[in-house]
Amino acid sequence: MGIENPKYKKNLDDLLQTCHQHLPNVNDSLVIKAFEFALEAHKNDLRASGEPYFSHPFEVAMIVAREIPLDDITVVSALLHDVIEDTEFNLDLMIKEFGKEVTEIVDGVTKIGGIFKGQEITQAENYRKLLLSMVKDVRVILVKFADRLHNMRTLEFVNQDKQRRIAQETIDIYAPFANRFGLGQVKWELEDLSFKYIDRNAYEDIAKKIKSKRKERETYINKFSDPIIKSLDQYNLKYEINGRPKHLYSIYKKMIKRNKPFEEIYDLFAIRIILDTNNTNDCYTTLGIVNQMYLPVPDRFKDYISIPKTNSYQSIHTTVIGPDGRLVEVQIRTRKMHEVAEKGVAAHWKYKENKATSDKELENWINWIRDVFEGASKDDARKDLLESFKLNLYQDEIYVFTPKGDLRRLPVSSTPVDFAFDIHSKIGYHCIGAKVNGKIVPLDTVLHSGDQVEVITSKNQHPNKNWLKFVATHKSKTAIKKWLNKEEEDIIEAGKDLWEKKIKKLKLSFTASDIAKLSLNLKYESPKLFYRSLGEGKINIDEVLTIAKDKDVKKEKIPSLEFDNFASLARTDIGGVLVDGKNSGIMYSYAKCCNPIPGDPVIGYITVGEGIKIHRKTCNNLLKMSEKDPSKLVPVQWPESKDSIFVAGLRILGKDSAGILNEISHTIVSYQNTNIKSININTTDSTFEGSVTLFVHNIEHLSRIMERLRKLKGVYNVERFESS
């Protein structure tokens, strides 16, 4: 295509020269192609300043090449970073022209930019995690930092409301994020530029005071440095010595934090000596020179060269008493140490922000990136290593928006139903549909980081079993199961109520055993299933009563199995239940009505004369008593013990067959040599009802036996036996 405009020709020459100066390898033809492509794509666009829009991607590419250099692919991506969002060109064309790698970076930068549009920053740390969860290639982050840095440098051309919004977003999200990546210089500049638009009066006041003291400070720094310079020259050391730059926002934060005026915060002088050497011993020679010139302050010395910070930061920090008795802080480091501190991806993020150990993974990852930056900069392997690198932080969770812009964190594979329950259970229960990014989607749609989700509800909508197949969060699953169980209980209760009203009207009487036998005759495994069918209208009560009459169910009653004798059965003590977590020695006994065993959820009830009665939490008697006087309830728990023996009772219903008693007995005793206390079988027609009392260690022991019994051929139901 070629470039005719002299200005753009010079831009391209400057970019290529900068790339060759700072990057290990440069594909000139690829950079030129991207430059020409972006120039053509943005030819009709203007910035708020009135400049051609292309000036922005060009400057972003220059920042990447000069200030946070990595590789030529990053520069190419910077040139193209706004093409997908702002022009008619699409991803398919981008892949065809520049390949998948560049396109993925450009697409990532576009998506990151999109998540903040119209959103109010309310949870800054979540936004930073959101960025990481969306990004798979570190170069996306670097291009975005450069993009934001250039936008902040030209922020004066947009209206004040937009200035404040972008500045607040920058100081909350991008500046701390740049610090985490070790981009110290980028972080400082983003903070100062943001500060300028967030509180212009404070910014200008501090800037004015710094300016008024500049000559005085420069004079003092020169006076302090001159004797050091003469000695360094005598040792033939190559060096750079200057006053450390003071960042306005940093001064402002210290003024607020310490509640002190500018003069007290700004009083400490500071210089940095950067040595052009690879010999760290030269740093200690320089330290000796400084200490010979000026008296050091003992408790203000830090040697981060011998003992680097956790994030591998290296430098010597010392404070000495300079001319006129003023304190001067001196930093001594090599050029390589300085480059890592200013431009490396591993700098002060952990030390400055006091991040918890949960960020260990991030720390390890940043150290890895630092090695890439520091390592063989001229080596082709550096590029291969980087190109194969993928970012996997926070990939186990996603961040999605509410319509108002609030962030919600969910596991990967979450759906609109999970989102609805995360907002509130009532919204989840009545969720009938959802809009994701403005489009109506099915409830089983998988959400992704950055999605904006709006839940559609209806008072007539309720959870169904299919929801359990696609929801991802524990909260959703628990709530759905709770609803389904309650719904089933309501149906069972309705069926039972229907039955009782009918037999009362007909002046009939059915015991629990009558109902159990009737249920078996009707091929239901339990009375609950029988009542459910009644509640659902699947069976006709009149037909059921006819069957009961024909079979003469009422006349052949199955003997009731009494359980009151359980209280008198031997039981091995386990050293006392724990009351409020302690073995208190308080008198206690086990309630006859529910016969708790270790593993059952239990609670104590204070009685008169008998101490504490231990009940199962589901015990009907306990529920009735607690309604009258809940103050008598005390928390209790089972102590750990493997040798305790408790008596438990089981009721077994099934089809009568030869040898069934022997099968039941063998199934019980063959599991951990379980002892049977008593066993009783009653048969009527082709069915049997049995009761077994046995000795068990805990609820798990009992559950395993019940599972084994349920697997026996012809056994319809096995349940815990308790008195009503």
- Regarding whether 167 and 23 lie in a shared domain, the answer is yes
Phi, psi dihedrals of residue 612, rounded to the nearest 5°: -100, 130
Question: Which of these is catalytic: 14, 36, 40, 86?
Answer: 86
- Using DSSP, state whether 685 is helix, strand or coil: coil
Q: Is 85 a catalytic residue?
A: yes
Structural domain harbouring 454: 397-423+432-462
Backbone angles phi, psi at 640, to 5 degrees: -75, 130
Question: Is residue 18 located within the same domain as residue 54?
Answer: yes
Q: How many residues does the chain have?
A: 724
pLDDT at residue 561 greater than cutoff 60: no
* Domain end residue (candidates: 637, 658, 684): 637
Cβ-based neighbours of 222, under 8 Å, separated by 6 or more:
none
Average pLDDT over residues 648-662: 85
Same domain, 602 and 702: no
For residue 573, indicate whether it is catalytic: no
Q: Residues 409, 423: contact at Cβ < 8 Å?
A: no
Q: Hey, which of 127-141, 308-322, 562-576 has the most confident mean pLDDT? A: 308-322
Model confidence over 613-650: pLDDT tens digits?
Answer: 888 888 888 888 888 888 888 888 877 665 677 788 89
Q: In this structure, is the dihedral angle defined by the CA atoms of residues 521, 525, 530 and 531, taken in order, positive or negative?
A: positive
Q: Does 380 reside within a domain?
A: no
pLDDT at 504 over 60: yes
In this structure, are 27 and 167 located in the same domain? Answer: yes
Asked if 340 and 253 touch (Cβ cutoff 8 Å), the reply is no
- pLDDT of the residue at 390: 40
- Residues of the chain with pLDDT > 70, as a percent, come to 80
Percent of the chain whose predicted confidence (pLDDT) is above 90: 21
The helix (H) or strand (E) run that includes residue 349 is helix 349-353
Domain identity same for 587 and 670? no
Catalytic pick among 85, 125, 218, 629? 85
Residues 271 and 130 in one domain: no
In a domain, 673, yes or no: yes
Q: For residues 396 and 724, what is the distance between their CA atoms, to the nearest angstrom?
A: 49
**Inside any domain, residue 566:** no
Residue 575 has pLDDT above 60, yes or no: no
Is-contact 463 484, C-beta < 8 A? Answer: yes
92 and 30, same domain (yes or no): yes
Cβ atoms of 688 and 718 within 8 Å: the answer is no
The CA distance from 140 to 151, in Å, is 17
DSSP state string for 430-493: TEEEEEETTEEE-TTPPP-TT-BEEEEE-TT----TTHHHH---HHHHHHHHHHHHHHHHHHHH
Residue 279 per-residue DSSP state? -
Answer yes or no: is pLDDT of 724 > 70: no
CATH (domain of 705)? 3.30.70.260
Q: What is the pLDDT of residue 687?
A: 83
Among 467, 488, 489, which residue's Cα sits nearest to residue 478? Answer: 467
pLDDT band at 351 (very low <50, low <70, confident <90, very high): very low
CATH code of residue 447: 3.10.20.30
Domain C-terminal end among 343, 363, 386: 343
pLDDT at 646: 77
Q: Give the tens place of pLDDT for each residue, 511-524.
A: 777 777 777 777 77
Axis crossing angle, helix 138-153 with helix 55-66, rounded to the nearest 10: 120
- Cβ count within 10 A of residue 393: 13
Q: Within a domain: residue 705?
A: yes
* Bridge partners (DSSP) listed for residue 334: 275
Phi, psi of 248 (to 5 degrees): -60, -45
How many domains, in total, are found in the chain? 6
467 within domain boundaries: no
Q: Which amino acid is at 236?
A: N
Residue 274 sits in the same domain as residue 339 = yes
Q: Is 507 part of a structural domain of the chain?
A: yes
Residue with the larger pLDDT of the pair 283 and 86: 283
Q: How confident is the model at residue 532 (pLDDT cuts 50, 70, 90)?
A: confident
- Say what the pLDDT of residue 394 is: 44
Per-residue confidence (pLDDT) for residue 378, from 0 to 100? 40
How high is the pLDDT of residue 683?
A: 80
pLDDT of residue 495 exceeding 60: yes
* Parallel, antiparallel or unpaired: strands 612-616 and 588-590: parallel
Statement to judge: residues 619 and 653 lie in one domain: no
Q: Which of 333-347, 461-475, 598-612, 632-646 has the highest mean pLDDT?
A: 461-475
Higher-confidence residue of 147 and 611: namely: 147
Residue 381 located in a structural domain: no
Greater pLDDT, 99 or 598: 99
**CATH code of the domain containing 135:** 1.10.3210.10
Indicate whether 47 and 150 sit together in one domain: yes
Indicate if the pLDDT at residue 379 is higher than 50.
no
Listed ranges 109-123, 422-436, 482-496, 509-523; the one with the highest mean pLDDT? 422-436
Give the residue-averaged pLDDT of 73-90.
Answer: 87
Residue 337 has pLDDT above 90, yes or no: no
380 has pLDDT over 80: no
- Tell me the pLDDT tens digit for each residue of 445-454: 999 877 889 9
Count of Cβ atoms closer than 10 Å to residue 454 Cβ: 17
Q: CB 589: neighbour CB atoms within 10 A? A: 12
Q: Does the structure show a pLDDT above 50 at 349?
A: no
Specify the pLDDT at position 357. 35
Burial of 348 per CB tally in 10 Å (0-12, 13-18, 19+):
middle
Domain membership of residue 70 (yes or no) is yes
Q: Domain check: are 218 and 171 in the same one?
A: no
Tens-place pLDDT, residues 680-690: 888 877 788 88
pLDDT value of residue 628: 81
51, 145: one domain: yes
